[in-house]
Amino acid sequence: MLLLLINLTSFAQSPANARAREEIWIAPIAEINRYSVSGAAAGGGIAVGYGDGVALGLRMLYCMDLYNVTTLELTAFLRLYFFGGHSGLFTQMNWGPAYFFEKDNDMKWMLSAGLGIGWRFLLSGNWFFEPVVRGGFPYYAGAGVSFGLRF
């Protein structure tokens, strides 16, 4: 009987039953940035990522300034967690198109690229909170937060 219990305990701890370290996550975003003719722009969006330690993903941000310029930023990103895993300090590179819609219905686009730094705080269960600051072109600077779920 003792041998049976030892074998069952060993089986319960096997890698086949362990949770995979790779993860998929989704997070709504709120951000203030310089996608504006003058002053700040504010908006929201969503990010979806995959990975642990190093993550790849897609990010969509829609923002508006006080002068009726709206911006749609569609970027891919590469994220690196400094301490491994899926929490703590990270840096993130974004690149992709940014579409500008002005009040006279004129649409322009530019390549958006930048680098950000943030911290992922793990909350109860699979929930997390991330404050982030970033800099790049053509938005110069931005700061935001996201609250997401890991799968």
End-to-end CA distance of the chain: 38
How large is the average pLDDT for residues 48-73? 95
Give, for 8, the enclosing helix (H) or strand (E): helix 2-12
pLDDT value at residue 21? 58
Q: Which CATH number fits domain 21-150: 1.10.3720.10, 3.40.50.150, 2.40.160.20, 3.90.226.10?
A: 2.40.160.20
Task: Dihedral sign for Cα 134, 140, 141, 146, please.
Answer: negative
Supply the pTM of this predicted model. 0.82
pLDDT at site 9: 42
The pLDDT value recorded for residue 22 is: 72
The whole-number average pLDDT for the span 7-31 is 64
Q: What is the pLDDT of residues 96-142, one digit of tens each?
A: 999 999 888 889 999 999 999 999 999 999 999 999 999 999 999 99
Q: Where are the domains of the chain?
A: 21-150
